[in-house]
């Protein structure tokens, strides 16, 4: 690993540890997806090994499998009406607590779990903290049946995500278009995507995030939303 990747990995671990410190006995915890969320799952698993009694739901099959290996009691989210706290990563996070998510391909499930959570916290290394979201591609989960029409509607900046020469398939059986958008008005873009038939979800998280833990040079900062997120 390079010095930069080592630093980022260490920052992710510190941010994850700070967020997992919010977990209390008896909580039902939502577990995110991706390289940063993996640090949170491992940190929670360590606390469970020390005797913390919690249950959790996962936003992806990969996160569920890891959590089970670490001894975390897992539930099927389909049977869960409410979650106490969800911890997840982000591809970008800005001072408004607007986030772009979905590099791990689970943004639709992540948004559903976030909406059912009393509190959602994002963890990130310093490279993910930006003045305003918009540099990262916005992942959009699309119905494969509507691939051509949706790629045309999403614009020239839309590219179908591929893996091993074939379209990347989400846990929901759908495909992902990674899109370049000018996010001068993120809420307007989110509303446009929400209203497009065949778009099943997207990575703009504008109202879901209650707090963010961002690590830089060994120091973890917490950004807290001033008012209710939802």
pLDDT digits (tens, 9 = 90+) for 64-92: 999 999 999 999 999 999 999 999 999 99
Longest dimension (CA), the chain: 52
Whole-angstrom Cα distance, residue 162 to residue 180? 16
pLDDT digits (tens, 9 = 90+) for 98-135: 999 999 999 999 999 999 999 999 999 999 999 999 99
H-type helices in 55-211, by residue range?
A: 61-69, 107-115, 147-154, 186-194
Q: In the prediction, which pLDDT does 54 show?
A: 98
Say if residue 1's pLDDT is above 60.
no
Strands 117-125 and 166-167: what pairing?
A: unpaired
pLDDT digits (tens, 9 = 90+) for 87-103: 999 999 999 999 999 99
Contacting residues for 184 by C-beta, under 8 A, at least 6 apart? none
Q: Determine which of 1-15, 124-138, 143-157, 203-217 has the lowest per-residue pLDDT on average.
A: 1-15
Q: Determine which of 1-5, 148-152, 154-158, 224-228 has the lowest per-residue pLDDT on average.
A: 1-5
Say if residue 165's pLDDT is above 90.
yes
Say if residue 227's pLDDT is above 90.
no
| 3 state SS of 204 | strand
222 vs 14, 16, 116, CA distance in Å?
Answer: 12, 12, 22
Active-site positions? 110
pLDDT digits (tens, 9 = 90+) for 171-224: 999 999 999 999 999 999 999 999 999 999 999 999 999 999 999 988 999 999
Say if residue 2's pLDDT is above 80.
no
Instruction: Please state the pTM of the whole predicted model.
Output: 0.95
């Amino acid at each position: 690993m390079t010095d930069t990747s080592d630093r980022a990995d260490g920052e992710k671990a510190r941010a994850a540890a700070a967020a997992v410190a919010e977990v209390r006995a008896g909580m039902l915890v939502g577990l995110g997806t991706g390289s940063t969320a993996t640090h949170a799952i491992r940190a929670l698993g360590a606390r469970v090994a020390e005797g913390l009694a919690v249950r959790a739901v996962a936003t992806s099959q990969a996160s569920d499998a890891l959590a089970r290996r670490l001894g975390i009691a897992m539930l099927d989210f389909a049977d869960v009406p409410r979650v106490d706290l969800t911890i997840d990563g982000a591809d970008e996070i800005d001072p408004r607590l607007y986030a772009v998510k979905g590099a791990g391909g689970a943004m639709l499930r992540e948004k559903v779990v976030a909406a059912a959570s009393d509190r959602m916290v994002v963890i990130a290394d310093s490279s993910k903290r930006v003045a305003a979201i918009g540099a990262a591609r916005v992942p959009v989960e699309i119905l494969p049946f509507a691939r051509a029409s949706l790629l045309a509607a999403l614009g020239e900046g839309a590219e179908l995500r591929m893996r091993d020469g074939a379209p990347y398939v989400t846990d929901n059986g759908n495909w992902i278009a990674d899109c370049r958008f000018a996010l001068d008005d993120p809420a307007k873009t989110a509303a446009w995507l929400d209203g497009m038939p065949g778009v099943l979800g997207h990575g703009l998280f504008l109202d879901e995030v209650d707090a963010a833990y961002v690590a830089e040079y060994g120091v973890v900062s917490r950004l807290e939303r001033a008012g209710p997120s939802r």
